[in-house]
Amino acid sequence: MIVSILQRIRCRRWLLRVTFSMLLAVGAASRTICVAAPAAAPAAPLAVKVLVINTFRAEAAPWPTALHTDREIRVPGLSSDYPLVRCNAAAVCQVTLGMGHANAAASMMAVLYSGLFDLRRTYFLIAGIAGIDPARGTIGSAAWARYAVDVGIAHEIDARELPRDWRDGIFGVGTDAPGKKPQLEYRTEVFRLDEALLQKALSLSHQVALEDSDDVRAYRAHYQRSPANQPPQVTQCDTATSDTWWTGERLGEHARRWTALLTDDEGIYCTTQEEDNATLTALTRGAQSGLVDIKRVAVLRSGSDFDRGYANQSAFDALRAQFALAGAVRISVDNLVRAGLPLVDNIAQHWDLWRNGVPANNVP
């Protein structure tokens, strides 16, 4: 009996020694592994030459092919629908923000503050489709903007309850009638783009042949005046931002008046879209943080529909008829690339001239 007890004690001591030895060995190995495999240094931010900014899938679709992108970078904070920034070997990239003010601002901020990109010398091309004023262009026209004006920041009274002498019920925040300029206290109501970059973009693209389609040609023939009834061209006029997709003669006239009012009669309204003031607000915040140069931003909008109908056509009939134009979105999206790519390529191919700022117009 005593012998049996002694044997069990010796066995337990032996097991304890073995277990302790194994734990020491594992600990030593763990220390060796930690020393032998230090954490990899984070990759340096990608110095981007040009960032093309779109807002939805169809708008973005032709750009990766046009830019020959070969790299995808996942950015935390981008929309789950569009989580990637796509880049090519020349450090030209493309991002899709998502539609509307909220998506545009949130996604642009995610890119700016991701730490994945060096954007201090980057040129930004905001390229999207839009409604277009028939007095300034046609479906397929591509317009470079000098001003982006938010037509959504306003007081509004229902049209059925207007004072007798008012043309519409939309007037500036803090004012008491249409036609009075508000104080612009939001700091996002109007942006003016850099004139040197605007003129360079126009000079590089004004003779580009734009795409057209048979159904759009037939539809624009209903408009009695040029440029609405003419083939699309590259032009310069300004863009209005609103999350509301409006249409009709009276709202179109308001957009004209509002753009003129907020720009002291310098701006000429011609396109209407949902995102540009939000995107420009995010870029302005980035500039205030020293992350971007706000003078390196260009806005290009192409007409995918008229903002109002032709003579004797109701607003709703105009909206419905243009939804049926299969060629309208296709040519407007393609013409963004045709009009925008000369600027993008010139920057990438002549980076030595563009690195420190916009070169003079007499420079290639």
Q: So what's the pLDDT on residue 258?
A: 98
Note whether 340 and 125 are within 8 A (CB). Answer: yes
Cis peptide before 227 (omega within 30 of 0): yes
Q: What is the pTM of this model?
A: 0.88
Residues linked to residue 118 through DSSP beta bridges, in sequence order: 47
| pLDDT at residue 5 in the model | 37
One-letter amino acid for residue 37 of the chain:
A
* Architecture of the structural domain at 46-153+188-354: 3-Layer(aba) Sandwich (3.40)
Break the chain into its structural domains and give their ranges. 46-153+188-354
What pLDDT is recorded for position 18? 38
- 6 pLDDT above the threshold of 50: no
DSSP 210-254: PP--HHHHHHHTTS-STTTTS---EEE-EEEE-SS---SHHHHHH
pLDDT band per the 50, 70, 90 thresholds, residue 43:
confident
Residue 277, SS3 per DSSP: helix
pLDDT reading at 3 higher than 70: no
pLDDT value at residue 28: 42
The overall average pLDDT reported for the chain is 90
Torsion sign across C-alpha atoms 278, 48, 59, 301: positive
